[in-house]
Amino acid sequence: MSGATGDPQWTNPLRDASDKRLPRIAGPCGLVIFGVTGDLSRKKLMPAIYDLANRGLLPPGFALTGFARRDWADQDFSQVVYDAVKQYARTPFRQNVWDRLAEGFRFVSGSFDDDDSFDRLEQTVRDLDRVRGTGGNHAFYLSIPPSAFPVVCKQLARSGLSAQDGDQWRRVVIEKPFGHDLKSARELNAIVNDVFPEDSVFRIDHYLGKETVQNVLAMRFANQLFEPIWNAHYIDQVQITMAEDIGLGGRAGYYDGIGAARDVIQNHLLQLLAFTAMEEPTSFSSNELRGEKIKVLNATKLVGPLDETTACGQYTGGWQGGELVRGLTEEEGFDPNSRTETYAAITCEIETRRWAGVPFYLRSGKRLGRRVTEIAVIFKRAPHLPFDATMTEELGQNAFVIRVQPDEGITMRFGSKVPGSQMEVRDVTMDFGYGTSFTEASPEAYERLILDVLLGEPSLFPVDEEVERSWEILDPVIERWASREDGPDRYPAGSWGPDSANAMLARTDRTWRRP
Amino acid sequence: MIVDLPSTTTSAVNKKLVRLREAGGVLALGRVLTLVIITDDGAAIEAAIEAANEASREHPCRVIVVARGHHEAAPRMDAQIRVGGDAGASDVIVLRGYGPLAVESASASMVMPLLLPDAPVVAWWPGEAPLVPSQDAVGQLAQRRITDALSAKNPLEAFEQRRTHHIAGDTDLVWTRLTSWRALLATALDAPPHEEVTAATVVGEEISPSTDLLAGWLAVRLGVTIERATAKTCHGLVSVRLERRSGPVELIRPDGKTGRLRQPGQPDRLVALARREVRDCLTEELRRLDPDEIYEAALGGVGQIVRADTPVAGPSLARS
């Protein structure tokens, strides 16, 4: 089951399909993190590892090795992890759990192009097998800039770290961006697949680890309520939004030249689109899920002409939410003539019988009104209203909204009678929250994903085909925007995007939802 | 917010709940079940409510606490409603019955009007539980009945009662406390070599229903002789040893906090394995409301274990 081969006829007598309490603990293994001094490591990875240990899901003797250019000893690294865990962990701190986990921390100081550091890393990993009992199973988390992938992969191959040996697995975990267009994505996949077979590659799109996103499947397929109307007969449009209110100060190195479309639409939003639009799988095995996602992505096309169906923007400085903020070209590290877009909106259509004619609007931006990610399914108006026009003047369209963050849950909007002596109908919004405002109970996305890497469970990780297909969809838009003479349209920080975005929807008599 | 309603009726409580909901502007409630806690009035109530509030973060629910007051008082029902910050992700209603309302059958009549419509009901006795929970008036309202043999005055006797009177839907925290042990043992057997277990020994404190139950589970799953031995100096469940041809798999925990997993050809591995708190156990119990067949089988398996006559000295983590 958990990556163990051996006699295929053998079943574990202590496991039973009806023993639903038994959690899946990873088998003996270790994790090596490259780029361990970065923000992601500190705020997400290290706390997730502690939380997994606290929940009893990590194997006894689990080992965590950091690799970076710092001149640290094991204890210094341990202190760094301790600080990160104390500050960002989700579950309460237990000294006992910490002590056991900390016994498995190691640090290797080195740089990517230095053969000797990788040899030392290989030695450390072998020591861990001997002393901690990690069983020869190791995952390598590459939290590094994409430019470093080729050299790190080469080193992992050269030092023998990537060698799979019988029952022992070696896996690689990579974070987005997965290239910056189709061609570079294919090259990247080729580099990684040279060293690790595809089933040992785990690409992290952390949205897939979120409870709400997994709940889209439960909501759609476990209930009779929604699936019958989940199609073009009843749905008018779908708007998928990822908005942030923060700017890009200090992130020029990563963002300048990348832009909102590559940063978010290529991965998170197209994955959300796939979940919302896919056909029902016949089971929840990873093959089935993956098959359905690829099928729907294959049917997804951009709607043209791109000048009319897309919008790109860049925020300008001003007062936002009580704070004076700078425009993008004034941010530190950004080229004053930068044409990087911080707002991107595109229109897609899915050429299947279920979705023909329903536009999918995907938008993402920085320095927008507030931080929110949601999938809004907006229904057509009722074909005939027995009320006269004045009674329903205020009535809009029914909406079913999946709130991915910050306040996880579902919103339904429907018409209801306004209390009073007249029959007047207006929209009412009902919000259902998961665990209400206490999302402490739902595990963080990274906990789920790291555990799945260690268990070898591939469902929540996009495969190379999905990544390449997503680039295929997006490439024409990026090319078109790059060839614009004036660059992106400007929008004031704190608003909901440039006017061109509103015009984009107004052409089909629609408006953006204000989330 | 805490609202006290002394000397009241359930009808008044219901009206108050509706008014609080309207005043608080909370129009949509995502509740998954009603948890009924039956206990004697006193200090135990707050601990039980706190555990329930913690569990409600994962399972938003309505919590009804039935606190039995003095039997020799004039008949009266006091109620207290807690919502918002004082109630976790739930609403808590504490009902105190006095005189004739302090007996079992009256408790059910107090609880019935306050159950959430069309939602499962779970009953929990944090302290002493009735002899046959499924025949208790409140137990009959519930789909799942949670007891804790370890909190009874005589744990072994309580455990015997569970075994004798078990019915589908019953569960006990002595079983929930074993989940981490069972998961570690199952995971240890997942990896090669895939050999049969030929015998096993489970060691624990003399009075430890969890130890007996773990032995019972192993007896049923493995179909081999399971020996249950007593450790003189340790608390609770202490160690499990599974004999195999290539060598034993052992999980030992002499200090009650840290477990050591020992397998042939592998270095010893330590893991945090402290006794689970009630709140974690309760959260786990509320995750699944269908009957636990594995638990039922394990209870049956307790009859097959062999008890060792002489106590053993507790194992030490230091010795290898």
pLDDT digit string (tens) for B25-71? 665 566 789 999 999 888 889 999 999 988 888 888 899 999 988 88
- Cβ of residue B292 closer than 8 Å to a chain A Cβ: yes
For testing contact with chain A, the best of B187, B196, B283, B292 (most A CBs within 10 A) = B187
- Cβ of residue A218 closer than 8 Å to a chain B Cβ: no
In the block, residue with structure tokens 């002489």: B310
Percent of chain A clearing pLDDT 70 (strictly above): 96
Give ranges for CATH 3.30.360.10 in chain A. Answer: 209-439+462-506
Q: What is the pLDDT of residue A383?
A: 80
Q: Is the previous residue joined to B315 through a cis bond, with omega within 30 degrees of 0? A: no
Q: pLDDT in tens for each of the 320 residues of chain B? A: 889 999 999 999 999 988 888 777 665 566 789 999 999 888 889 999 999 988 888 888 899 999 988 888 888 999 999 887 766 667 899 999 888 888 878 889 999 999 998 889 999 999 999 999 999 999 999 999 999 999 999 999 999 999 999 999 999 999 999 999 999 999 999 988 899 999 999 999 989 999 999 999 999 999 999 999 998 877 889 999 999 999 999 999 988 899 999 999 889 999 999 999 999 999 999 988 999 999 999 999 999 999 987 777 766 554 44
Q: What is the pLDDT of residue B170?
A: 95
Residue A392 has pLDDT above 80, yes or no: no
Residues of A in contact with B179 (CB under 8 A): 21-23
- Tens of pLDDT, residue by residue over A456-504, are 999 899 999 999 999 999 999 999 999 988 889 999 999 999 999 999 9
Q: Which of A2, A20, A432 sits opposite B30 (nearest CB)?
A: A432
Q: Which of A60, A409, A435 sits opposite B89 (nearest CB)?
A: A435
Residues of B in contact with A14 (CB under 8 A): 182, 185-186, 189, 221-222
Residues of A (109-168) whose Cβ lies below 8 Å from B: 130-133, 135, 167
CB contact under 8 A, B192 and A431: no
Give the residue numbers of A annotated as catalytic, written as ranges.
Answer: 268
| pLDDT tier, A66 (very low <50, low <70, confident <90, very high otherwise) | very high
CB contact under 8 A, B193 and A6: yes
- Cβ of residue B2 closer than 8 Å to a chain A Cβ: no
Residues of A (392-411) whose Cβ lies below 8 Å from B: 409
Q: What is the dihedral of CA B308, B314, B315, B316, to 10 degrees?
A: 180
B30 to chain A: closest CA residue: A432
Q: What is the mean pLDDT of residues A273-286?
A: 94
Q: DSSP assignment of A28-72, as one string?
A: S-EEEEESTTSHHIIIIIHHHHHHHHHTT-SPTT-EEEEEESS--
| pLDDT tier, A83 (very low <50, low <70, confident <90, very high otherwise) | very high
CB contact under 8 A, B192 and A25: no
Sign of CA dihedral B131, B136, B140, B141: negative
Q: What is the mean pLDDT of residues A356-385?
A: 93
State the nearest Cα–Cα gap between A500 and chain B, in angstroms: 37
Residue A33 has pLDDT above 90, yes or no: yes
Residues of B (69-98) whose Cβ lies below 8 Å from A: 88-89
CB contact under 8 A, B192 and A167: yes
CB contact under 8 A, A436 and B30: yes
Q: What is the mean pLDDT of residues A387-400?
A: 79
Helical (H) or strand (E) element with A170:
strand A170-175
Q: Which of A101-110, A226-235, B48-57 has the lowest mean pLDDT?
A: B48-57
State the nearest Cα–Cα gap between A153 and chain B, in angstroms: 28
CB contact under 8 A, A21 and B89: no
The CATH architecture that domain B2-147 belongs to is 3-Layer(aba) Sandwich (3.40)
Contacts of A63 (CB under 8 A, 6+ apart): A30, A31, A104, A105, A106, A128, A132, A134
- Cβ of residue A17 closer than 8 Å to a chain B Cβ: no
Q: What is the mean pLDDT of residues A302-320?
A: 93
What DSSP character marks residue B281? H
| pLDDT tier, A3 (very low <50, low <70, confident <90, very high otherwise) | very low
Please check whether residue B17 is in contact with residue B81, taking contact to mean a CB–CB distance below 8 angstroms.
yes
Q: What is the pLDDT of residue B99?
A: 87
CB contact under 8 A, B30 and A135: no
CB contact under 8 A, B189 and A1: no
- Tens of pLDDT, residue by residue over B270-306, are 999 999 999 999 999 998 899 999 999 999 999 999 9
Q: What is the pLDDT of residue B26?
A: 60
Q: Can you read off the two tokens belonging to residue B282?
A: 């309760």
Q: Which of B57, B271, B292 sits opposite A438 (nearest CB)?
A: B57
Contacts of A515 (CB under 8 A, 6+ apart): A241, A243, A369, A370, A372, A374, A376
Give ranges for CATH 3.40.50.720 in chain A. Answer: 30-175
- Strand, helix or coil at A285? coil
Interatomic CA distance for residues A63 and A67, integer angstroms:
13
Contacts of B246 (CB under 8 A, 6+ apart): B193, B195, B264, B265
B188 to chain A: closest CA residue: A27
Q: What is the mean pLDDT of residues A408-424?
A: 84
In the A/B pair of chains, how many CB contacts fall below 8 A? 128
The topology (CATH level 3) of A209-439+462-506 is Dihydrodipicolinate Reductase; domain 2 (3.30.360)
Q: Which of B184, B197, B294 sits opposite A19 (nearest CB)?
A: B294
pTM: 0.89
State the nearest Cα–Cα gap between A511 and chain B, in angstroms: 27
Residues of A in contact with B284 (CB under 8 A): 21
State the nearest Cα–Cα gap between B146 and chain A, in angstroms: 15
CB contact under 8 A, A18 and B179: no
- Cβ of residue B317 closer than 8 Å to a chain A Cβ: no
Q: Which of B270, B284, B287 sits opposite A103 (nearest CB)?
A: B270
- Strand, helix or coil at A448? helix
B27 to chain A: closest CA residue: A430
Residue A437 has pLDDT above 90, yes or no: no
Interatomic CA distance for residues B146 and B184, integer angstroms:
24
Residues of B (164-193) whose Cβ lies below 8 Å from A: 176, 179-180, 182-187, 189-193
CB contact under 8 A, A438 and B294: no
- Cβ of residue A431 closer than 8 Å to a chain B Cβ: yes
Residues of B in contact with A440 (CB under 8 A): 57
C-alpha A353: how far from its chain's center? 28
Residue A102 has pLDDT above 90, yes or no: yes
Q: Which of A14, A96, A135 sits opposite B185 (nearest CB)?
A: A14
Interatomic CA distance for residues B320 and B316, integer angstroms:
8
CB contact under 8 A, B192 and A5: yes
Residues of B in contact with A431 (CB under 8 A): 28
- This model of the complex carries an ipTM of 0.88
- Cβ of residue B265 closer than 8 Å to a chain A Cβ: no
CB contact under 8 A, A59 and B187: yes
Range B251-259 contact pairs with CB under 8 angstroms and sequence separation of 24 or more: B251/B181, B251/B184, B251/B185, B251/B188, B252/B315, B252/B317, B254/B314, B254/B315, B254/B316, B254/B317, B255/B317, B257/A96, B258/A96, B258/A100, B258/B317, B259/A60, B259/B184
Residue A12 has pLDDT above 50, yes or no: yes
Q: What is the pLDDT of residue A1?
A: 39
| pLDDT tier, A2 (very low <50, low <70, confident <90, very high otherwise) | very low
CB contact under 8 A, A100 and B271: yes
Q: Which CATH code, of 3.40.50.720, 2.160.10.10, 3.40.1280.10, 3.40.50.10800, is assigned to A30-175? A: 3.40.50.720
- Tens of pLDDT, residue by residue over A333-346, are 888 888 999 999 99
- Cβ of residue B50 closer than 8 Å to a chain A Cβ: no
B287 to chain A: closest CA residue: A21
Alpha helices in chain B (DSSP H): 10-24, 44-56, 104-111, 155-165, 173-176, 179-190, 209-222, 278-285, 293-301
CB contact under 8 A, A12 and B189: yes
Helical (H) or strand (E) element with B200:
strand B197-204
Q: What is the mean pLDDT of residues A34-44?
A: 91
